[in-house]
Amino acid sequence: MGISSRTDAGVHAYQNTLNVDLTHPFPDTIYKPSFITESVNRILAMKSHEITVLETRLVPSYFHSRINAKYRSYVYRLAVASDGDDGDQSTDSETSTSSNQSTKANSLDISLVRQCTELFVGRHDFANFSSVDSNNREKDTVKTLDLLQLHQCPPPLTSFELQTEAYSRLRFYELHIKAKSFLYNQVRRM
């Protein structure tokens, strides 16, 4: 079995891919992809898992979801306290998130953040943005980052209780990151 990527605690995977070799009990017979999807989803639901198999495909025996992945992408969602106008400059304020974590925004200049993201795009040595992976200490630290962009997005849907004045001062952003591969902890550190 192989999986195309891993997630850390508190991170949610969206459309992760994995491969597995299945042998049918009857010779010269293969499982139908729809049967695998339905069976796995039924078991996941019975066990109260929050994940779902969206699609199952037959692939050649040489296919490996991690090695043959065309790219990997990440989306980080940010809530930034704003001074109340529609500009990109935030002010010093503290905001509680729904997970009871508190974040401090210190005059975050969104336009400056956007300028900085452009510096990462392209082929660079990202050694300073990774940590030593105990499985492969000799890994090449030169990677090509295809995309790193910050976009303002609409507020997430929330319950009525969260629609307060403080909530209305938040601006929401998504940081999109895409590359063929990343170093261990590279995305988090960037």
Assign 32 to helix, strand or coil: coil
Count CB neighbours of 114 within 10 A: 15
Catalytic residue among 8, 21, 85, 86, which?
Answer: 8
Q: Beta strand 93-96 with 72-81: parallel, antiparallel or unpaired?
A: unpaired
Q: Which amino acid is located at 121 in the chain?
A: V
Burial of 183 (0-12, 13-18, 19+ CB in 10 A): buried
In 3D space, the residue among 75, 76, 70, 66 whose CA is nearest the CA of residue 17 turns out to be 66
Residue with tokens 């507020």: 155
Beta bridge partners of 78: 173
List phi, psi (to 5°) of 118. Answer: -65, -30
* 8 is an active site residue: yes
List phi, psi (to 5°) of 119. Answer: -65, -25
In 3D space, the residue among 77, 152, 166 whose CA is nearest the CA of residue 111 turns out to be 152
* Catalytic positions: 8
